Amino acid sequence: MNATQRRLEGKVALIVGAGQTPGPKMGNGRATALLFAREGAQVLAADQNIASAEETVALIQSEGGSAAAVETDVTDESSIQRAVHDCTQRWNRLDILHNNVGISVAGGDAPVTEITVEAFDRIMAVNLRSVVLACKHALPIMRDQGSGVILTISSIAALVILYSSAQAGSIRIGTEGAYPPWNAKDESGKLIGFEVELAGWLCIYMKADCTLVEQDWDGMIPGLIMRKYDAIMAGMSITDERMKTINFSQGYADEVASLAVMKGSSLEGMDTPKAINLSTGGGAAKKALKTLTAALAGKTIGVQTATIHQNFLESGDVGNVKVRTYKTQDEVNLDLAAGRIDAALAAAVAFTDYAEKSGKPVVLVGPTFSGGAFGNGVGVGIRKADTQLLEDFNKAIDSARKSGKISELAIRWFGFDASM
Q: Which residues are catalytic, by number?
A: 163
The rounded radius of gyration (Å) of the Cα atoms in the chain is 25
**3-class SS at 217?**
helix
Judge if the upstream peptide bond of residue 367 is cis by omega within 30 degrees of 0: no
- Distance of alpha carbon 253 from alpha carbon 120, whole angstroms: 51
- Distance of alpha carbon 321 from alpha carbon 366, whole angstroms: 16
- Distance of alpha carbon 64 from alpha carbon 261, whole angstroms: 34
161 burial (CB, 10 Å; 0-12 / 13-18 / 19+) is exposed
Instruction: Compute how many other C-beta atoms are within 10 angstroms of the C-beta atom of residue 118.
Output: 12
120 burial (CB, 10 Å; 0-12 / 13-18 / 19+) is middle
184 burial (CB, 10 Å; 0-12 / 13-18 / 19+) is buried
Q: Indicate the helix (H) or strand (E) that contains 212.
A: strand 209-214
> In this structure, are residues 153 and 28 in contact, taking their beta carbons and an 8 Å threshold?
yes
- Distance of alpha carbon 351 from alpha carbon 362, whole angstroms: 7
For 64-103, the three-class secondary structure string (H helix, E strand, C coil) is CCCEEEEECCCCCHHHHHHHHHHHHHHHCCCCEEEECCCC
**Paired residues of 301 in beta bridges:** 323, 343
- Distance of alpha carbon 69 from alpha carbon 325, whole angstroms: 32
Distances (CA, A) of 82 to 46, 71, 79, 288: 10, 9, 5, 50
C-alpha triplet 266, 269, 274: angle, nearest 5°:
135
Distances (CA, A) of 200 to 155, 164, 393, 419: 37, 18, 12, 16
